[in-house]
Amino acid sequence: MKAIIWPVYIDSKKTKHEGRKISIEHSVSSPKIREIFKAAAKLGLNPETEKNKSYPRAWWEISGRVIVDKTMAKNQILIKISNIIKASRSK
């Protein structure tokens, strides 16, 4: 099974209403597709990138998305990816 990860899901600058799926403490500021891809690869989720896609609630912004293997609950995947991005940014 696959899971789609839009950058808005882990973006601390977005509200839950705008599409953020995890809490502010776990989210990161303006995540990039490349960062999500690298984090998902580190977790062994076999990521694929689709760059010219727009999140349906913000159809005018081309943000791209990452498709990963769903090996655990989607929320857990998002939190783990967000934590890896935070760790890589703090280096």
**If the chain, 91 residues long, is cut into consecutive pieces of 10 residues, what is the mean pLDDT of each piece?**
97 96 96 97 97 94 96 96 95 75
Query: What is the predicted pLDDT for the residue at 5?
Result: 97
For residue 43, what are the domain limits? 2-89
What pLDDT is stored for residue 67 in this prediction? 97
Domain count for the chain, please give it: 1
d(Cα 12, Cα 10) in Å, to the nearest integer? 6
> In this structure, are strands 65-69 and 48-50 parallel, antiparallel, or unpaired?
antiparallel
Q: What is the pLDDT of residue 26?
A: 96
* CATH label of the domain that carries residue 13: 3.30.56.30
Per-residue pLDDT at 91: 75
Residue 7's nearest CA partner among 71, 51, 72, 60 is: 51
